[in-house]
Amino acid sequence: MGAPQANEQTCKRLAALLAGDRPEPARLIARLRELRELERAPTCALVLHMIAHLDRPEEEAEAILEELLAHRERITAALGRDPGLRVSAIDFLTNVRKLLSNPTILEATQLERTERSAVTDALTDLFNRRYFDRALELEIRRSARYDLCASLLMLDLDAFKPVNDLYGHPFGDLVLKRAGKVIRRSVRESDVACRFGGEEFAVILPETDRLGAFAVAERVRCEVERRFVEQSIEGRAVAMTLSGGIATFPEDGRDAARLMTRADQALYLSKTRGRNRVSIYFSEKRRAVRYPVRRSSRASIARAAAPGGRAAPVNLSLAGALLATDESYRPAESVQVTFGGRGGDWVVGARIVRVEPPAPPRRGRVAVAFESPLPETCIRQHVSRSGLRRAFVQEGRR
């Protein structure tokens, strides 16, 4: 049976409860139950593991702790002094319940360092692949039990092999170490950041939907790019970037293998589209990040040999746009869309894929698919400041 899992903040709270070694029994059990509900973590199993390195399911662990606390009170009454929780645990688990046969006394801080090293990648100080596999299974079970969403982010350093080959493996290790540090500092404390293998990383995002996962991934991607541009490594400037792929439970998969496959497919999509970007696996037909645009943005839609009618972009992506207009169009009609900008106009051929009639006070809308990707410089000029935080990627069926 594997050790119970929880985020570091939960473990710190539990360690604080046990710090004095003489917790009041009723208050301790009540607090463990409260934290279990608030943080959805197996708190009794975690405490039993902390004090005795014994792993049991949560319900059984709670019963053992209640018996242990009662045993401690009996010893206290017999001795006339409180021997403490850990001494009582050794006697109870060894001589009464016989769950331990030859317990080892180990300083708590030393035990914590030993356990941490067993689940940590020595180079990046992120969790290792072994821990990742257990943590992902646990998060999927927890999310299924409480009807929550969760996302998996797979990350891969772009063009790492040429850098590693050119400057050598020790330099490549420094690149990986910096990337790991940036990833760890860019995610939340409740997220589980791991080195998946080689130059690939993974982040488990509890209670996070696609939009939230994309926001986290973009923060990581931008921060990695910025740090490598601003800070050299051993006097060498290395412009390192990374690509990412996201899959979400339960929509994209209800087991770890399916989620990893979907996240890998989204990561591959990022690589094929030019790297240094994040894609999200999605089971619908739209395939690109859609950005809310600025209110001041303007465009026009022109048929062949006809002047362009004015339009107001509603949202925009590399692959298409949703435009508000007073003109009438037909599905499948070929048009040209012009976007104005500070550096000139961008003109792109497009096809009408959907027409929404006006619904006062809202104007009519048309969705268009571009014949070729819209330049990112155009998108940057039209996207609202909050666009990235609310953007989403939809990737078609394979």
* 233-256 pLDDT, tens digit each: 988 889 899 999 999 999 889 999
Q: pLDDT-derived band of residue 131, with 50, 70 and 90 as boundaries?
A: confident
| DSSP helix/strand/coil, 80 | coil
User: How confident is the model over 60-74, as a mean pLDDT?
Assistant: 93
Separation between Cα atoms, residue 271 and residue 285, nearest integer Å:
20
Choose the final residue of a domain: 118, 150, 177: 118
Tell which residue, 373, 208, 342, has the closest CA to residue 277: 373
Find the range with the poorest average confidence among 47-56, 188-197, 246-255, 304-313.
304-313
Q: Does 388 reside within a domain? A: no
Tokens of 343: 């550096």
Separation between Cα atoms, residue 190 and residue 205, nearest integer Å:
8
pLDDT for 109 beyond 70: no
Residue 235 buriedness (CB in 10 A; 0-12 / 13-18 / 19+):
exposed
Choose the final residue of a domain: 280, 309, 344: 280
Tokens of 332: 């499948």
- Which of 62, 139, 199, 395 is the catalytic position? 199
Q: Indicate whether 299 and 273 sit together in one domain.
A: no
* pLDDT tens-place string over residues 257-272: 999 999 999 999 889 8
Are 211 and 246 within 8 A, CB to CB?
no
Q: pLDDT-derived band of residue 118, with 50, 70 and 90 as boundaries?
A: low
Q: Provide the β-strand partners of residue 347.
A: 338
Write the CA distances from 335 to 287, 297, 321, 373, integer angstroms: 21, 19, 13, 15
Count of domains forming the chain: 3
Are 214 and 246 within 8 A, CB to CB?
yes
Q: Indicate whether 274 and 299 sit together in one domain.
A: no
Q: Indicate whether 152 and 270 sit together in one domain.
A: yes
Separation between Cα atoms, residue 108 and residue 289, nearest integer Å:
48
Which residues 6+ apart lie within 8 Å of 125 measured at CB?
Answer: 180, 181, 184
Separation between Cα atoms, residue 365 and residue 379, nearest integer Å:
19
User: How confident is the model over 355-370, as a mean pLDDT?
Assistant: 88
Q: Indicate whether 107 and 22 sit together in one domain.
A: yes
Q: Does 201 reside within a domain? A: yes
Q: pLDDT-derived band of residue 21, with 50, 70 and 90 as boundaries?
A: confident
- What integer pLDDT is reported at residue 385 of this predicted model? 53
Domain of 45 in residue numbering reads as: 8-118
Q: Indicate whether 260 and 205 sit together in one domain.
A: yes
- Domain with residue 162: its CATH number is 3.30.70.270
Q: Does 398 reside within a domain? A: no
Q: pLDDT averaged over the chain?
A: 84
Q: Could you please report the per-residue DSSP string of 241-304?
A: -EEEEEEEETTS-SSHHHHHHHHHHHHHHHHHTTSS-EEE--SSS--S-BEEBPTT--EEEE-T
| DSSP helix/strand/coil, 352 | strand
Q: Indicate whether 211 and 82 sit together in one domain.
A: no
pLDDT for 392 beyond 50: no
- What integer pLDDT is reported at residue 388 of this predicted model? 43
Q: pLDDT-derived band of residue 1, with 50, 70 and 90 as boundaries?
A: low
The number of beta carbons lying within 10 Å of the beta carbon of residue 96 is: 11
Which residues 6+ apart lie within 8 Å of 148 measured at CB?
Answer: 142, 206, 207
Q: Does 212 reside within a domain? A: yes
Q: Does 113 reside within a domain? A: yes
Q: How far apart are the first and last CA of the chain?
A: 37
Q: Indicate whether 105 and 155 sit together in one domain.
A: no
- Domain with residue 367: its CATH number is 2.40.10.220
Q: Indicate whether 161 and 261 sit together in one domain.
A: yes
Q: Does 289 reside within a domain? A: no
Are 309 and 299 within 8 A, CB to CB?
no
pLDDT for 64 beyond 90: yes
Are 359 and 333 within 8 A, CB to CB?
no
Answering whether pTM is above 0.75, one says: no
Q: pLDDT-derived band of residue 67, with 50, 70 and 90 as boundaries?
A: very high
Write the CA distances from 282 to 22, 126, 275, 387, 396, integer angstroms: 51, 28, 19, 19, 6
Q: Indicate whether 140 and 219 sit together in one domain.
A: yes
Q: Does 256 reside within a domain? A: yes
Q: Indicate whether 90 and 149 sit together in one domain.
A: no
- What integer pLDDT is reported at residue 71 of this predicted model? 93
pLDDT for 383 beyond 80: no
- What integer pLDDT is reported at residue 111 of this predicted model? 47
* Percent composition of the chain: helix, strand, coil (DSSP 3-state, to 5): 45, 20, 35
Please say if 199 is a catalytic residue.
Answer: yes
Q: Does 394 reside within a domain? A: no
Separation between Cα atoms, residue 87 and residue 106, nearest integer Å:
12
Q: Which of 129-133, 316-320, 392-396 has the highest mean pLDDT?
A: 129-133
- What integer pLDDT is reported at residue 52 of this predicted model? 84
Q: Indicate whether 135 and 114 sit together in one domain.
A: no
* pLDDT tens-place string over residues 185-229: 999 888 999 999 899 999 999 999 887 888 899 999 999 999 999
Q: pLDDT-derived band of residue 23, with 50, 70 and 90 as boundaries?
A: confident
Which residues 6+ apart lie within 8 Å of 175 measured at CB?
Answer: 157, 160, 163, 164, 233, 238, 240
pLDDT for 32 beyond 60: yes
Choose the final residue of a domain: 280, 307, 331: 280
Q: Indicate whether 196 and 229 sit together in one domain.
A: yes
pLDDT for 105 beyond 70: no
